[in-house]
Chains A and B, each alone.
Chain A
Amino acid sequence: NAGVTQTPKFRILKIGQSMTLQCTQDMNHNYMYWYRQDPGMGLKLIYYSVGAGITDKGEVPNGYNVSRSTTEDFPLRLELAAPSQTSVYFCASSYLQTGVTEAFFGQGTRLTVV
């Protein structure tokens, strides 16, 4: 099973450029999340989605956008890259309804903005 797949693994962007981080899960999970992790810190929630067509802001949404057109995919868009967006980005998914599963993580994307 693939689980949660994130691409790319590494990327260097110039200030002002844009890019999309891809995230796909094959577990039919309804919840999906994007986090960023700065060096030595915990995970900060950027955006999350409770199902296809529904997204909501997390703790640090500024400078990012998301969409959830299908259950499987949850891309994260950076429109005008800034040095403050240099970080490691993790996508995760879980299933919440009457029961709850743990969150499964992608392998992360290390982004550097120069």
Chain B
Amino acid sequence: EDKVVQSPLSLVVHEGDTVTLNCSYEVTNFRSLLWYKQEKKAPTFLFMLTSSGIEKKSGRLSSILDKKELFSILNITATQTGDSAIYLCAVTGNEKLTFGTGTRLTIIP
């Protein structure tokens, strides 16, 4: 059975700090790993990673995938209160898109 594990489950930091969110996975016939941000409604897409070692970057957010060790990290630098959200990691395998439990990130002003 496909499995996605995220850590930490919850994280509280001060504005301006840098955070690293982790995602490890076990999946049959890996195709892609996806990161989403969820505030009050539907998840919004951040990154899709398919190849090891290639960093994806968007502003203060970046992510990288290690297909040998089966994990990915999401980095957020110079955090702002608007970064407070649940960050979800998902993996596409043979057929299914499997999500982890998410990391709830809270940024204190």
Interface string of B78-90 (1 = CB under 8 A from A): 0000000010101
Q: Provided the pairs A100-B31, A100-B92 are in contact, do residues A42 and B99 lie with their beta carbons within 8 angstroms?
A: yes
Q: Is B32 an interface residue, CB under 8 A from the partner?
A: yes
A92 to B32, CA, bound (A): 16
Interface size on B, residues (CB 8 A): 23
CB distance from A12 to the nearest CB of B (A): 19
Could you tell me which residues of chain B, from 7 to 41, have a CB within 8 Å of some CB in chain A?
31-32, 34, 41
Chain B interface (Cβ < 8 Å from any Cβ of A)? 6, 31-32, 34, 41-43, 45, 48, 50, 86, 88, 90, 92, 95-102, 104
Interface residues in chain A, defined as those with a beta carbon under 8 Å from any beta carbon in chain B: 31, 33, 35, 40-45, 48, 50, 56, 58, 90, 92, 94, 96, 100-108
A to B CB contacts below 8 Å, 23 in the list:
A31-B97, A33-B97, A40-B104, A42-B88, A42-B99, A42-B100, A42-B101, A44-B99, A45-B96, A48-B95, A48-B96, A90-B42, A94-B92, A94-B97, A96-B31, A96-B92, A96-B95, A100-B32, A100-B92, A101-B48, A102-B45, A103-B97, A104-B45
